[in-house]
Amino acid sequence: MEMIAEPASNGVASAATTATFATASMMPVVAPAPTSLGHAVESLKLEHQFLRVPLEHLKKTIRANHRYTEKEVAAVLSGVSEVADREDISREEAVIHLSSLVSRLQGLKRKVAFSFTTFFSLF
């Protein structure tokens, strides 16, 4: 059994208003509107843009933190090797120099943790 809508004033029946009845259950089955696929595609494009911007910002943050970390670790390692190679340095001076290098690494840790905390607090 099939039920067909009356044609519109322009003589074309809308696909969204055309309904057919299943013979076993007698429930109407409505054909999807042809524009629903277009809306889904547009929605996915929009969602992709909204996800791309935070992802690009995260990548930029990671790259910047990686460069900064590499620079700081290289400086600390050269400082450690400098202290290790010097023979004319006293034990107290070596401890003071190494303590300053440790505080430099602690500052690096704090800065990296802060940048990621700031980024993830946006979400």
Which H/E stretch holds residue 87? none
User: In the chain, what are the domain boundaries?
Assistant: 1-34, 44-120
Amino acid at 88: D
The position carrying tokens 């946006």 is 122
Beta strand extents in the chain (DSSP E only) = 2-3, 19-21, 28-30
pLDDT (0 to 100) of residue 22: 47
* Distance separating alpha carbons of residues 113 and 91, to the nearest angstrom: 33
Q: Give per-10-residue mean pLDDT for the chain (123 aa).
A: 50 47 53 64 73 82 91 95 90 93 94 82 68
pTM over 0.75? The answer is: no
pLDDT (0 to 100) of residue 18: 46
pLDDT (0 to 100) of residue 69: 93
For residue 32, what are the contacts with CB-CB under 8 A and spacing of at least 6? Answer: 16
pLDDT (0 to 100) of residue 67: 94
